Structures are given as structure tokens and as C-alpha cells.
Structure 1
Amino acid sequence: MASFLSLLFFAVVFSVSLFLLRRSRYRRLRLPPGSLGLPFIGETLQLISAYKTENPEPFIDKRMNRYGPIFTTHVFGEPTVFSADPETNRFILLNEGKLFDCSYPGSISNLLGKHSLLLMKGSLHKRMHSLTMSFANSTIIKDHLLVDIDRLIRLNLDSWTDRVLLMEEAKKITFELTMKQLMSADPGEWTESLRKEYVMVIEGFFTLPLTFFSATYRRAIRARTKVAEALTLVVRERRNDDRPRSDMLGALMASGDNFSDEVIVDFMIALLVAGYETTSTIMTLAVKFLTETPLALAQLKEEHDQIRANKGHSEAAVEWCDYKSMAFTQCVVNETLRVANIISGIFRRTMTDINIKGYTIPKGWKVFASFRAVHMNPEHFKDARTFNPWRWQNNSEAANPGILYSPFGGGPRLCPGYELARVVLSVFLHRLITRFSWEPAEEDKLVFFPTTRTQKRYPIIVNRRERGPTRS
């Protein structure tokens, strides 16, 4: 017992000494102002608690008001510099692989897998990013994906009753679309079972990556194992099937890189998370913002009713020319992406000491480029926290979009599905508006920034604007 206490004492002394030595070095550098918070824990609990409320802005707002747009904190076990400065954010994005390395909290890294596109680096990331882009560019969407997008959205809307949990329905749509694109899988019991496991995986993203302390993280790890096992079976079956498939899995197997099952499975898990989680949240929030902005909803209805009238009947498929004619819809999409900020920012790690804006960020530190803080800053967007799609007409507030507006990131890690997400949201709004009217159910609501605890919310009461369902 005495020896155990001695070891524990020396471990504590060593850890505290190391902590103090690091702080001494940091004081000699001109670090961005801020606070590292408590030893080891830092300010992680404040960050997590902020994002489980209706308004997560105060974590950044409070520190920006005190320290300025670049400040130091300590989250997820590491000292981290937060940037709410658009020029600094652009500098971080454009120096990927030169001055900054991709790095995310352990919970996200462990659940996505080391071979996910989010964590790949160097030439492998470049090849896989290019491959992903080739399956989500405008030509592919126009010639191949649009028909599936329209069909799956209509089929899901056919099943709606008079009361709908919108977030849940949006998740079904985006998951089915992503499964179709990745592995040509049609909706069924298997895809729905897999989707339920995905929900638990995503719940573990913003938890401490310690199975002993976090029941949510334990459940997420178990769910991730089940998802990986299910996808591994699909990969092995496809290896024994000589039929060519025009999907992402087929492209991976035909690439000539001889990717292992593990690499392919990690890659697909991350793409499923990206396609499933972000787009469904954007769809839900677009409806919420429109419901709260009647003038915008009325103008959007006019645009889509005109498209349907031009086509002659409601069952006509949405075509590429219809999408390109949705001028006000694109203003709504832009503003939803700006206000919702589903990709709130990106984590990177410094590869060397970085001198920027008069500060030094030490080698090995994390940085977080916050797109959200830029989008919600009234210095950059007038009445920034108000949903106003008209601000995008004639690009009146998009004079420098590469710096001020970056809902899909930028640089070599620009989200490869940015155009696909815009098309899915536009087609969804077209079908929803031309088929239904709706109002929020009074007994529940969606918080401003949905978290894993609220994603099944925002029920709406719907009424059909047309007689009978449309079927492909």
C-alpha cells in the first residue's frame, strides 16, 4: 500500500511539474491572450455545456469580448488557440500540410477511424478527396444522382402523416441517399438498422474519449464496431462479385490502389456520417427558419409553385434546369448555411512555431478556425444573427466570400459534397413546399443549434396541398 501511495505521489508531482514547466515556456512566448483553465481539464466542460444549450455562442462571445478574435484556451486535453478572425482562418486553411496538420479530438478520431477522409494526410488524402469529388460534382449530380435524390425524397414524403418529426424524417432521407451513392443500397430493414447504430456513433463525437468515464462514448464505440462489421461484410461480398457498379465502393475497388477492407470501411463510415448528419440538420433548420420568416416562405412558395406550373403536373421529375432556375432558393440555402453553421470550424495542429497577427502559436498546439464566429459577427454581416435570405440577392454581402463565408471549409480539405448538399436541400424544399403546408407543433421545439439530445425534435403539423401521393 505504501509503495502504491509513493508511486501515486511521484506521478502527481511529475505531472504538476511538467504542467508548470510548459506554462513557464508559454509565458516566454507572446501567446494569444486567454486562459488555459484548470489543469488537464482546461475549459472543456464549459465548451461542451455551451453546445448543449439553446445558444452556444457565449463560449466564444465571452472570450472574444475579453481577449479579441484570437484567444487561447484548453479543450479536449490540449492547449488550443481559437480564431474568429477571417484572415487567420484562411491562412490556416491554405497552409494545410505546410504549417498545419489535420488533427481532431480523440473521440472523433477514434469513432471515424484512422483511414477516414477527415484524418487522411498527404498524397493519400489528395487521391481520396479527388475520388470523392468526382462522385459529387455538378455533372454527376445532373446526369446520375438527381433522379435518385428526387425519387427518394418523394417516397419519404409519401409516408408522412399529419404529424412529422422533421429531423428524424430528414435523417432517413439523407441516410438513404448516401447509402445509394456509396454502395447502391436501396432503403430497407438493413439500412434502417444500420442508421440506428449510426445515431449512437454520432452521439459519442463530443464526449471525453474515455470508456470508463463516459457511458455515451462506450455505446458509441460498440455501435461503431457493429457498423464496421456490417460494412465489412458488404465489402467482402463485393470483392467476390465481378459485376461493375457505378458507386463509390465500386470506384474504390477499381482504383488500382488495392485498399484493404479496413481502409475502405473507415472511408465509408466517415462519408456516411458527413452525408447523413450535416445535410439532415440543414434541411430541418431551413424549414425552421422559413417558418419563422413568413415573407421568405411566401416568396419561396411563389418560386416553386411557378416551377411546378411550368412543368404541367406535380409528378414530373425535378430536372437540372429546374434546379438552376431556383434563384431565391439559393439565397435561402446560403443563409441557412450561414446561420446554422453545421460545420462550425476545423481543428488543426501546428507543425512548427507559427507567428501570426503579432502572436506566436507553439509547435504541437491545436488551433480551431471558427467559421461560425465569423458568420455570426455583425462586423461582417449586418444583423448577423437574423435569418435574412435577401442579403444574398445580387451578392450584396458576398464581396469576399472566400474569407467571410466558408460553410464548407476551404483549401485542400474543402468539403467534397458541397454541391450535392445544396441540390438535396433545394429538391427537398421544392417537394415539401409544393406538396405541404405546415406549422410547428406547440408541444415541442428545436433548439437553435441542435445537439444529440434534441435531434429528434421539431415536430410539425402538415397538410397536403395536393390530392394523393406521387410515386415514381
Structure 2
Amino acid sequence: MALSTLLATLLCTVVLPALLFLVAVKLWEVYMSRGRDPSCASPLPPGSMGLPFFGETLQLILQRRKFLRMKRHKYGSIYRTHLFGNPTVRVTGGDNVRQILLGEHKLVAVQWPASVRAILGSDTLSNVHGARHKSKKKAIMRAFSREALELYVPLIQEEVGAAVAEWLAADSGVLVYPQMKRLMFRVAMRILLGFPPEQIGADERQLVEAFEEMTKNLFSLPIDVPFSGLYRGLKARNFIHSKIEENIKKKIRDSQKESKRGDALQQLIDSSRKNGETLSMQAIKESATELLFGGHETTASTATSLIMFLGLNPEVVKKVRQELIDKEERGMQLGSLNIESLEQLKYTGCVIKETLRMNPPVPGGFRVALKTFELNGYQIPKGWNVIYSICDTHDVADIFPNKDDFQPERFMSKASADSWRFQYIPFGGGSRTCVGKEFAKVLLKIFLVEVVTKCHCTLLNGPPMMKTGPTVYPVDNLPTKFTRYVRN
């Protein structure tokens, strides 16, 4: 009697729930496979849809690049999955990515996950379409023109120089990634939003922590309940909005007085005023938050990767220093750089390109299929999300031999540049190419010059494990000892 009771208990508490779970998963797979468009003869891409509702979002959040590589090795360059509440096709490889990036407004349209749209806002450059996107992009591009960048160079050099001096004074070393986020945050606040240094200093720590919390939860399940990732991200976003609203109001008053301030946010405000558009405080706050995210999170990631690669490749550091010595002997003033002198630093620029190849800060871009279309023998059903992968596309590109080796020289040949299109896409491509890419290049070049001319970098933990959330970062924050470099 006792044995039969035990078996019944086991059946009810373990076996039956497990069977029901397996049946639910199978029914979920069958249900999702019905998303195939019968008007298209091509099959759905291979893949799996994961758990009901959750899909494979949890595996992606926990494993990130390991998960993506496993899926690519198992299913190939195009596969289906279910992420952030939507059936999704992930696309890898230059030829496949080309069709996605050039298919904007015809095959696909940009559509970030619901959590990203909720946190950053629906009226941001990354989420608007058509004429609205063109208008906003044009306004921001004025703030990243060559003339505008020329004005930014001294300010960037000032901020980077001050940060390097602090790192050299730290006897026990510094955690590079948090320091990069702090540095790039200050640069973004001053250049992109026009905040004076004294205003940044008062709330700097709280704002940096809030941005970290917001970005950490950008890609989360679209469930706004207490303690969920989306809830925490929205709470951090609201704090950021409250801190920048006062400055925005001042900008609006200044714009009515024909202000000549040239930061990116001011350009947006002036453009709205000239076009006779109603200025929405919420829309401007969302634009400011997006500019800060794009202007400091991605550059902080890349600057951290630069320090890592400098520490792991001392021969590269020597070559950068030699290029700078050669330029100094020809009259270049490294203490007062300008756009023209930065453009002459070819090898230095190649070090940045190689860093972006191996560790692109953003792993991919999000689109939604406007209609059912075929891609490399598979159908992409209308309404499904499409993710083009930057990191995987770099990984599989045949044009990069010895792709696991850090070799800046591979970018020295101009003849190869055209063949790299869509196989080397750290800034995306097509009409949605990152509007701030020239700003990022200038900022990173100045950063690299300041570091190699003043510092030796010693990685205290050796090569770190890298994760993505949402940009690439070292798990151990890259503890590094900076010691003063003195040229012989």
C-alpha cells in the first residue's frame, strides 16, 4: 500500500508535470511553425523556438555570445528562434546581411524589441521612420560635421588627459571598464548634450549608475512588474529624465534667443523650431537619453577593448608610438591635435578598426519583415523580427585570414576596402548606419594617442572573459596598472 502511494505521489508530482511540460514545448514548436507563409514555397529557416512565451530569451541573456555561436554552428548562417516575445530570424554573413541592410523600407523596417522601445522611447532616431527619421538624422548629422568635430577635439583631449592622469596616480591600478564609462559619459554630456562641467560633477555618480542599470535592462522580457528587468530599466530611465529636464528647458529658452550652441541636442531643438514642429518635452528627453546611450556606452566598450588589446599586444603599441614619433618629427603637435592631424595617423586608425572587428560593441541590429520574402533559400514571414549579426558576420568573413589574431595591418590596404562592405559592419550599414561613427572614430583616436604617449598598460588578470549586455564588456572589469611612459 505504501509503495503504491509513493508511486502515485511520484507520478503526480514529477512524471505528470514533466510530461505536460514536454507536451507544452512540443505544441509551442508546432504552433510557431504554423507562422510559415503558405504563399511562399520556401521553408522556414532551421532552428528551435524554445520555451512557451519565453522562447530562448533567457538562454541569450545568460550566455550571450556562447549561445549565439552554438546556434550558428548548429543551424548555419540563417536560423529561427523566439526572442523578447517575438518569432525571430537571425542572419549572419556579408551576402545575407547585405539584403537586410539594403532592404530597409522595402523588405524590412527597423524595430527594436518592445523593452528597448519602452525604455528609450518611440520618438527616438532609432525608432522613427520615413520623413521623421530623415529630419532627425539630418539635424544630428550637422552636429557631427567636420566643422563641428574640429570644435570637439580640444574638449575631448582635455577630458581624456585628465582621466589618464588619474589612472597614472592610482598605485594599485584601476578597473578599466567603469573608468571608461565615467570618461565617455562626461564627454557625451559635454559634447552631445552641452552640459557644463560643474553641472555634470554634481550628479555624475548617480547618473552613471542609472545609465548602467538602464542599459543592463534594455533587452529584457516585456513584463513591467515590480523587480522585473523592464521595471528596473524604466525606473532608471525616469531618474535620468528628471536630471536632464532642467538643462533641456534652458536649451529651449536659449533656442528662442537664437542660441549658437552646437551640441547635438541643441541641433535637434533648433531643427524642430525651424520646421514649425511642436516641442514635446518627452520627445526631447528621449532624444537626449538616446544620444547619451549611443555616445557613451558603445565608445566605453570599444575604449575598454582597446586597452585590453594594447596590453596583450606590446608590438602594436610600439608601432603606434613609432608612427606618432614620425609625425612629431614632421611637425605634428600631439598636445594640440586637430582633425587634419588625426587623419594622418593611418596605423593608429587601423588599430581602432581591428578592435572593432574583433570586439564590435553592438552585436547586431533589429528589423521586422514588412512582407514575406526569401533569403538564401528560406522564407522570412511577414511580421517576424530579423536580427542581423555584426559579431558573427565578422567571425565568418573569409576576407579576414587568421581572424583570431590582432593584426591592424590588415586594414592598411585601401584596395580591399570595397570588398569589406557588409562583411565588416561595426557601425551597421545602409540608411541606418550609425550617425555618430565619425565622432566615435575621432574620440577613440584621441584616446589612443593620449594613452600610448603617456602610459604603459599592464593587465593584472591577463586576458578577460568578454560578455555582452547590451554592449561588449570584460566580466572582471579589466583591472589594469597604468605606469608612466617616458620616451627615450
TM > 0.5 fold call: yes
CA distance, structure 2, for counterparts of residue 219 and residue 21 of structure 1: 32
**1:147 is matched with which residue?**
154
**2:134 is matched with which residue?**
126
Superimposed CA distance per residue, residues 43-76 of structure 1 (whole angstroms, 9 cap, x where no aligned partner)? 222222222xxxx2x4333333332211111111
CA distance, structure 2, for counterparts of residue 454 and residue 381 of structure 1: 24
**2:82 is matched with which residue?**
74
Equivalent of 1:176 in 186, 195, 198? 186
What displacement does 1:178 show?
A: 1.3
Superimposed CA distance per residue, residues 180-235 of structure 1 (whole angstroms, 9 cap, x where no aligned partner)? 22332133223443222211111112322324375443332111001112222222
Equivalent of 1:448 in 466, 476, 483? 466
Superimposed CA distance per residue, residues 95-136 of structure 1 (whole angstroms, 9 cap, x where no aligned partner)? 212221211112211111111111111111111111111211
2:268 corresponds to which letter in structure 1?
Answer: L
Aligned length in residues: 447
CA distance, structure 2, for counterparts of residue 141 and residue 313 of structure 1: 18
* 1:459–1:311 distance in 2 versus 1, CA, 3 Å: farther
1:177 corresponds to which letter in structure 2?
Answer: V
Q: Secondary structure at the match of 2:396?
A: coil
CA distance, structure 1, for counterparts of residue 93 and residue 226 of structure 2: 35
Q: Secondary structure at the match of 1:33?
A: coil
What displacement does 1:17 show?
A: 8.2
CA distance, structure 1, for counterparts of residue 465 and residue 364 of structure 2: 20
Q: Secondary structure at the match of 2:80?
A: strand
Q: Secondary structure at the match of 2:426?
A: coil
CA distance, structure 1, for counterparts of residue 24 and residue 306 of structure 2: 52
Specify every segment of 5 or more residues in structure 1 that has no aligned partner in the other structure, as ranges: 1-12, 468-472
What displacement does 1:466 show?
A: 5.1
Q: Secondary structure at the match of 1:369?
A: strand
Residue 364 in 1 paired to residue 372 in 2?
no
On the 8 A contact 1:391/1:397 being kept in 2, the answer is: no
2:436 corresponds to which letter in structure 1?
Answer: G
Q: Secondary structure at the match of 2:279?
A: coil
Residue 382 in 1 paired to residue 401 in 2?
yes
* 1:240–1:133 distance in 2 versus 1, CA, 3 Å: closer
**2:69 is matched with which residue?**
61
CA distance, structure 2, for counterparts of residue 284 and residue 215 of structure 1: 29
CA distance, structure 2, for counterparts of residue 365 and residue 352 of structure 1: 9
What displacement does 1:348 show?
A: 0.5
CA distance, structure 2, for counterparts of residue 328 and residue 248 of structure 1: 29
CA distance, structure 1, for counterparts of residue 402 and residue 227 of structure 2: 39
CA distance, structure 2, for counterparts of residue 283 and residue 41 of structure 1: 34
Q: Secondary structure at the match of 1:101?
A: strand
* 1:183–1:59 distance in 2 versus 1, CA, 3 Å: closer
> Which sits farther off after the overlay, 23-32 or 334-343?
23-32
Superimposed CA distance per residue, residues 348-396 of structure 1 (whole angstroms, 9 cap, x where no aligned partner)? 0011111222221111000111121110115342122322212112147
On the 8 A contact 2:98/2:422 being kept in 1, the answer is: yes
Q: Secondary structure at the match of 2:448?
A: helix
For 1:203-352, list aligned pairs within 5 A. Answer: 203-212=216-225, 214-241=227-254, 242=257, 244=259, 245-255=261-271, 256=274, 257-308=277-328, 310=330, 316-352=335-371
> Which sits farther off after the overlay, 261-270 or 167-176?
167-176
2:75 corresponds to which letter in structure 1?
Answer: Y
What displacement does 1:457 show?
A: 1.0
2:74 corresponds to which letter in structure 1?
Answer: R
Residue 373 in 1 paired to residue 389 in 2?
no
Residue 93 in 1 paired to residue 101 in 2?
yes
What displacement does 1:319 show?
A: 2.2
CA distance, structure 2, for counterparts of residue 378 and residue 264 of structure 1: 39
CA distance, structure 2, for counterparts of residue 177 and residue 344 of structure 1: 23
2:233 corresponds to which letter in structure 1?
Answer: A
**2:163 is matched with which residue?**
156
> Which sits farther off after the overlay, 432-441 or 164-173?
164-173
CA distance, structure 1, for counterparts of residue 476 and residue 244 of structure 2: 25
CA distance, structure 2, for counterparts of residue 24 and residue 423 of structure 1: 49
On the 8 A contact 1:308/1:434 being kept in 2, the answer is: no
What displacement does 1:33 show?
A: 1.5
Equivalent of 1:36 in 49, 54, 62? 49
Please provide the CA RMSD for this pair: 2.7
Superimposed CA distance per residue, residues 134-178 of structure 1 (whole angstroms, 9 cap, x where no aligned partner)? 211333212x11121112211222222232222222222211121
Q: TM-score, structure 2 length as denominator?
A: 0.85
CA distance, structure 2, for counterparts of residue 214 and residue 26 of structure 1: 36
Residue 401 in 1 paired to residue 420 in 2?
yes
**1:439 is matched with which residue?**
458
1:184 corresponds to which letter in structure 2?
Answer: G
* 1:393–1:248 distance in 2 versus 1, CA, 3 Å: closer
On the 8 A contact 2:312/2:463 being kept in 1, the answer is: no
1:228 corresponds to which letter in structure 2?
Answer: H
Residue 114 in 1 paired to residue 133 in 2?
no
1:252 corresponds to which letter in structure 2?
Answer: L
CA distance, structure 1, for counterparts of residue 213 and residue 100 of structure 2: 32
* 1:78–1:370 distance in 2 versus 1, CA, 3 Å: same
Residue 167 in 1 paired to residue 183 in 2?
no
2:207 corresponds to which letter in structure 1?
Answer: L
What displacement does 1:249 show?
A: 2.9
**1:424 is matched with which residue?**
443
Q: Secondary structure at the match of 1:119?
A: coil
* 1:307–1:154 distance in 2 versus 1, CA, 3 Å: farther
* 1:22–1:217 distance in 2 versus 1, CA, 3 Å: closer
Q: Percent identity?
A: 28
